[in-house]
């Protein structure tokens, strides 16, 4: 079974590499253009939002599955310390805790929160996957899920960035988001990288499940606020 | 120290006394669950437990993850007794709540086990509202249109809540019927088809958030489907068209393959195959020929053999000896016995010409006796004379006999069949084989005597010679050296006697008839006339030319 596992991992890695290469070379192919120029595939903002929402929904479902699997199979074998002391490394990011709070936020701020969250989780998830491969706690299926999770965070972040670009282009939001693309501007990620490593696996999964849910809800609110045509 | 001990003893005594009375501190309350219907507020409920016989109050305390301090429930009444309602301002999503309930009475307090709650995961919406079920009548068949609305407190417009619905339908009257479930993602209406007329249907709905718990089923809505006539026209139309098409196809195929169908259904009945009967002759319509052909078949009864392949026996004069005859010469030692067979072909009379026909195949049963062969040959002769077979095998030097009996000088040269000769020879040799012969041939009498007596037919002597040569040798009177290969029958008697006569005869022609009791009887014949006619025997008619013809229809039929 380990050979199959390694093969699957290699296959998935190859797929990821290819996708990455293709993603980087996307500018050469027919890009999803924002302005509707000739020679590129035009996507409306509503379509972009739909795609992003689908992505985030899938990401959240995977995280839920992983968390429940962890609690079901791994936790009983470990000594379980009190969960009240859990501390997510993304706690420093101020996130609205309710509907009114989220609606009170401006569009730019909401988008910024989403991006901050996504950026904060890229490295810890990769680390988590690396740790999981070497451990015996998780089965192969779970390690594939972890890999997919980290990949999806990356993709979702790029998607949200595209949505933000489009919104900026359409004049729906101001241009204050332009500085977010670089990881250095996002302090929490650099500060909390050490904290992220100190987290236990269970806490990490718990925190990520919550944060993916936050992202999904924020994106929904954003979408229904900006493009309320269908599905709101 | 003594005071403390005394105090403890007092307390113990007091509790014992109180137990006897029946009061005690409250039992431990149990938090049942906390539920949020719309992800904005939530309610927690607990089970108070044993109150200890004293009025007990319960208090709920909670602690939030991101803040310190213990807070008490903001609202104990909104959700009923033993509940705590957290309104919007007190609800934080994605924040862990640590909730405990404390029961307090005058004797003490008891704390429940803590319950950790994240509002995100305790959402359970209310059932859908305003469920309306209507029967929509259309051309083919009616269907149910079910409409509903999300629970009023759920905020779906802002995208905060995305509901998915589930519907189930059941027939009320039918026992043991199962619920049929249908899913609906975001739509608030559904159409149900294939209804049973006259039935009452029950409809229920429920909903849930993406990853939440299912709501309770809504109240049952009853709808009656009115009785309607199931026209199902479309089905009948399809069936009719299809069957018509099939019928057309089959008819067309049958029409194309008429012959095969006819052959299959009505197999050709094999026509009656009467040996010797010629359908062509029948078709020609000449009654004479038809009659003659029919009569030929009946007389004499011959064993049916293969198709009318007639082999004829070669009949030669005494001078003419075929090689085959030579071979058989050894067999005939006893020529004396031939007298028994005289009633067969042995006609003496010098001026007799025998025209014999023979069959190709000879009966296997030689034991049947000469008579059979006689009969055979006799019939053959009749066959030959009277009735040509158009399909006969051509023989050597065969000239076709004309259809009419009166034949000119045509005849056939006949090849003889060795078996027939053998049979004849055997018959000649064996006296006992004369079984069926009607002629009471006295063998001894025959053997002892020289059959041939001068007074007797010259033919006997000739016969003797003839037998030696194993042939139906034509007994040609010496006076007449003409080589005649055939003879004509002058008379047929008793089924086993044939009188032969020559076609062209001199003045004196005698016929010697040997047969039956009159084995050595010869009698003078009247001056032969070529065209002598003899009173016809039954079944045989001697034609004007001396050929045996089958009797006319009037005689036999």
Contacts of B40 in chain A (CB under 8 A): 98-99
B319 conformational bin, left if phi > 0, alpha if psi -120 to 50, beta if neither? alpha
Identify the weakest region by mean pLDDT among A102-106, A192-196, B482-486.
B482-486
Quote the tokens at residue B312.
């004829």
Q: What is residue B469's predicted lDDT score, i.e. its pLDDT?
A: 43
Q: For residues A141-148, give the mean pLDDT.
A: 82
Q: Is A221's CB within 8 Å of B210's CB?
A: no
Q: Is B88's CB within 8 Å of A98's CB?
A: yes
Rounded to the nearest integer, the mean pLDDT of chain B is 67
For strand A41-42 and strand B200-208, is the pairing parallel, antiparallel, or unpaired? unpaired
What is the dihedral sign for C-alpha A147, A149, A155, A158? negative
Q: What percent of chain B has pLDDT over 90?
A: 19
B46: pLDDT confidence band, cut at 50, 70 and 90? very high
B8: pLDDT confidence band, cut at 50, 70 and 90? confident
Helix (H/G/I), strand (E/B), else coil: A133: helix
Highest mean pLDDT among B277-291, B430-444, B459-473, B499-513: B277-291
Measured CA to CA, the distance from residue B387 to residue B179 in angstroms comes to 96
Instruction: Give the H or E element holding residue A96.
Output: none
Contacts of A214 in chain B (CB under 8 A): 94
Contacts of A103 in chain B (CB under 8 A): 158
Quote the tokens at residue B47.
């089970």
pLDDT at B384 over 60: no
Q: Is B118's CB within 8 Å of A217's CB?
A: no
Q: What is residue B434's predicted lDDT score, i.e. its pLDDT?
A: 37
Are the CB atoms for B542 and B536 separated by under 8 Å? yes
Measured CA to CA, the distance from residue B359 to residue B368 in angstroms comes to 16
Identify the weakest region by mean pLDDT among A176-180, B122-126, B273-277, B356-360.
B356-360
Neighbours of B302 (CB within 10 A): 20
Which among A102, A96, A221 has a CA at the least distance from the CA of B66?
A: A96
Identify the weakest region by mean pLDDT among A74-88, A127-141, B67-81.
A74-88
B68: pLDDT confidence band, cut at 50, 70 and 90? confident
Q: Is B93's CB within 8 Å of A98's CB?
A: yes
**Half-sphere exposure (Cβ direction) of B74: Cα atoms closer than 13 Å:** 11
Alpha-carbon distance B125 to nearest alpha carbon in chain A (angstroms): 16
Measured CA to CA, the distance from residue A131 to residue A199 in angstroms comes to 12
pLDDT at B270 over 90: no
Highest mean pLDDT among A77-81, B152-156, B493-497: B152-156
Are the CB atoms for A23 and A159 separated by under 8 Å? no
Alpha-helix residue ranges (DSSP H) falling in B125-256? 233-256
pLDDT at B544 over 80: no
For strand A41-42 and strand A32-33, is the pairing parallel, antiparallel, or unpaired? parallel
Q: Is A232's CB within 8 Å of B88's CB?
A: no
> DSSP character for B323?
H
Which among B93, B87, B81 has a CA at the least distance from the CA of B45?
A: B81
Q: What is residue B541's predicted lDDT score, i.e. its pLDDT?
A: 54
Nearest to B159 among A60, A86, A221 (CB): A221
Are the CB atoms for B447 and B334 separated by under 8 Å? yes
User: What are the two backbone dihedrals, phi and then psi, of residue A66, each rounded to the nearest 5 degrees?
Assistant: -65, -40
* Cα dist from A39 to A29, A32, A43, A159, whole Å: 10, 10, 13, 21
C-alpha dihedral over A49, A54, A60, A64, to 10 degrees?
Answer: 160
What is the dihedral sign for C-alpha B71, B74, B77, B83? negative
Q: What is residue B501's predicted lDDT score, i.e. its pLDDT?
A: 62
* Cα dist from B347 to B131, B333, B467, B479, whole Å: 125, 20, 12, 17
Q: What is residue A84's predicted lDDT score, i.e. its pLDDT?
A: 53
B35 conformational bin, left if phi > 0, alpha if psi -120 to 50, beta if neither? beta
Nearest to A84 among B93, B98, B118 (CB): B98
Q: Is B66's CB within 8 Å of A231's CB?
A: no
Residue B533: is it exposed, middle or buried by C-beta count within 10 angstroms (0-12/13-18/19+)?
A: middle
User: What are the two backbone dihedrals, phi and then psi, of residue B553, each rounded to the nearest 5 degrees?
Assistant: -60, -35
Identify the weakest region by mean pLDDT among B34-43, B116-125, B416-425.
B416-425
Rounded to the nearest integer, the mean pLDDT of chain A is 78
pLDDT at B252 over 90: yes
Q: For residues A41-50, give the mean pLDDT.
A: 83
Highest mean pLDDT among A15-24, B127-136, B271-280: B127-136
Chain B positions contacting chain A at CB under 8 Å are: 39-40, 65-66, 88, 91-96, 98, 116, 118, 120, 155-160, 162, 186, 210-211
B7: pLDDT confidence band, cut at 50, 70 and 90? confident
Measured CA to CA, the distance from residue B174 to residue B178 in angstroms comes to 9
Q: What is residue B522's predicted lDDT score, i.e. its pLDDT?
A: 46
Q: What is residue B109's predicted lDDT score, i.e. its pLDDT?
A: 87
Which residues in B36-95 belong to E strands, given as ranges?
Answer: 42-47, 56-64, 70-72, 83-86
Contacts of B162 in chain A (CB under 8 A): 220, 231
Nearest to A232 among B40, B118, B159 (CB): B159
Nearest to B93 among A91, A97, A223 (CB): A97
Nearest to A214 among B94, B162, B210 (CB): B94
Quote the tokens at residue B376.
């055979």
pLDDT at B431 over 50: no
Highest mean pLDDT among A141-150, B63-72, B284-293, B380-389: B63-72
* Cα dist from A47 to A44, B215, B513, whole Å: 5, 31, 130
B285: pLDDT confidence band, cut at 50, 70 and 90? low
Measured CA to CA, the distance from residue B90 to residue B40 in angstroms comes to 9
| First-last CA distance in chain B | 160
Are the CB atoms for B310 and B360 separated by under 8 Å? yes
Q: What is residue B67's predicted lDDT score, i.e. its pLDDT?
A: 84
Quote the tokens at residue B400.
């076709």
Over residues B94-133, the pLDDT tens digits come to 999 999 999 988 888 899 999 999 999 999 999 999 899 9
pLDDT at A95 over 60: yes
> DSSP character for B440?
-
Helix (H/G/I), strand (E/B), else coil: B183: strand
Measured CA to CA, the distance from residue B378 to residue B370 in angstroms comes to 12
Residues 6+ apart with CB under 8 A from B154: B37, B38, B125, B126, B161, B163
pLDDT at B424 over 80: no
* Cα dist from A135 to A12, A80, A138, A200, whole Å: 19, 18, 7, 13
Angle in degrees, CA B189, B194, B195, rounded to 5: 90
Quote the tokens at residue A154.
């990356």
Q: What is residue B370's predicted lDDT score, i.e. its pLDDT?
A: 42
pLDDT at B383 over 50: no
A87: pLDDT confidence band, cut at 50, 70 and 90? confident
For strand B115-118 and strand B164-171, is the pairing parallel, antiparallel, or unpaired? unpaired
Q: What is residue A20's predicted lDDT score, i.e. its pLDDT?
A: 67
């Amino acid at each position: 079974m380990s050979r199959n596992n390694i093969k699957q991992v290699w296959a998935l890695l190859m797929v990821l590499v290819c996708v990455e290469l293709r993603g980087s070379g996307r500018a050469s192919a027919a890009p999803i253009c924002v302005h509707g120029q000739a020679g590129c595939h035009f996507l409306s903002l509503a379509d972009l939002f739909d795609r992003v929402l689908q992505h985030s929904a899938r990401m959240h479902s995977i995280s839920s599955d992983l968390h429940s699997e962890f609690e079901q199979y791994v936790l009983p074998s470990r000594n379980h310390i009190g969960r009240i002391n859990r501390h997510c490394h993304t706690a420093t990011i101020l996130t609205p805790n309710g509907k009114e709070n989220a609606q009170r936020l401006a569009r730019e701020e909401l988008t910024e929160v989403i991006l901050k969250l996504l950026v904060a989780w890229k490295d810890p998830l990769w680390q988590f996957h690396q740790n999981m491969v070497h451990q015996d706690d998780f089965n192969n299926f779970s390690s594939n899920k972890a890999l997919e999770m980290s990949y999806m965070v990356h993709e979702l972040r790029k998607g949200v960035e595209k949505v933000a670009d489009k919104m900026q282009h359409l004049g729906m939001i101001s241009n204050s988001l332009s500085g977010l693309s670089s990881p250095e501007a996002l302090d929490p990620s650099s500060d909390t990288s050490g904290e992220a490593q100190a987290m236990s696996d269970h806490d990490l999964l718990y925190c990520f499940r919550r944060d993916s849910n936050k992202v999904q809800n924020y994106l929904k609110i954003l979408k229904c606020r900006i493009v309320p045509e269908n599905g709101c | 120290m003594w005071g403390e001990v005394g105090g403890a003893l007092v307390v113990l005594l007091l509790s014992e006394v109180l137990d006897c009375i029946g009061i005690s501190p409250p039992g431990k309350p149990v938090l049942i669950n906390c539920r949020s219907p719309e992800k904005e507020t939530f309610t927690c409920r607990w089970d108070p437990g044993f109150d200890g016989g004293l009025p007990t109050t319960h208090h709920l305390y909670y602690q939030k993850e991101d803040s310190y301090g213990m807070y008490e429930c903001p609202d104990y009444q909104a959700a009923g007794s033993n509940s705590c309602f957290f309104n919007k301002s007190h609800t934080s999503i994605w924040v862990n709540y640590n909730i405990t309930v404390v029961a307090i009475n005058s004797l003490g307090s008891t704390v429940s086990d803590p319950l950790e709650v994240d509002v995100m995961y305790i959402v359970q919406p209310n059932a859908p509202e305003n469920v309306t079920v209507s029967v929509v009548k259309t051309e083919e068949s009616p269907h149910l249109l079910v409409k509903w609305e999300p629970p009023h407190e759920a905020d779906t417009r802002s995208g905060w809540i995305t509901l998915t619905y589930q519907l189930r339908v059941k027939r009320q009257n039918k026992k043991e019927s199962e619920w049929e479930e249908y899913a609906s993602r975001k739509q608030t209406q559904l159409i149900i088809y294939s209804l049973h007329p006259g039935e009452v249907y029950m409809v229920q709905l429920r909903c849930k958030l993406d990853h939440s718990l299912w709501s309770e089923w809504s109240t049952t809505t009853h709808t009656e489907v009115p009785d309607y006539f199931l026209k199902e026209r479309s089905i009948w139309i399809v069936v009719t068209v299809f069957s018509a098409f099939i019928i057309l196809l089959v008819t067309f195929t049958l029409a194309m393959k008429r012959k095969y169908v006819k052959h299959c259904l009505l197999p050709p009945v094999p026509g009656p195959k009467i040996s010797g009967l010629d359908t062509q002759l029948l078709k020609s319509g000449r009654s004479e020929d038809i009659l003659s052909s029919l009569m030929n078949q009946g007389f004499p009864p011959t064993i049916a053999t293969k198709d009318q392949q007639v082999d004829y026996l070669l009949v030669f004069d005494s001078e003419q000896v075929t090689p085959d005859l030579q071979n058989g010469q050894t067999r005939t030692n006893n020529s004396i016995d031939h007298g028994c067979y005289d009633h067969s072909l042995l006609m003496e009379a010098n001026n007799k010409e025998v025209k014999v026909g023979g069959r190709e195949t000879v009966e296997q049963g030689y034991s049947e006796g000469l008579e059979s062969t006689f009969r055979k040959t006799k019939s053959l002769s009749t066959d030959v004379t009277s009735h040509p077979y158009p399909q006969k095998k051509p023989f050597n030097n065969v000239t076709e006999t004309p259809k009419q009996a009166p034949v000119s000088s045509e005849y056939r040269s006949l090849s003889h069949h060795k078996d027939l000769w053998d049979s004849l020879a055997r018959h000649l040799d064996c006296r006992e084989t004369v079984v069926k012969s009607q002629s009471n041939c006295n063998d001894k009498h025959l053997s002892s005597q020289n059959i041939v007596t001068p007074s007797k037919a010259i033919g006997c002597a000739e016969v003797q010679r003839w037998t030696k040569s194993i042939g139906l040798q034509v007994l040609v009177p010496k006076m007449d050296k003409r080589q005649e290969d055939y003879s004509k029958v002058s008379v047929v008697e008793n089924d086993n006697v044939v009188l032969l006569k020559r076609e062209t005869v001199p003045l004196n022609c005698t016929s010697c008839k040997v047969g039956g009791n009159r084995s050595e009887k010869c009698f003078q014949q009247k001056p032969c006339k070529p065209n002598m006619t003899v009173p016809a025997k039954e079944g045989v008619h001697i034609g004007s030319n001396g050929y045996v013809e089958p009797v006319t229809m009037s005689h036999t039929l």
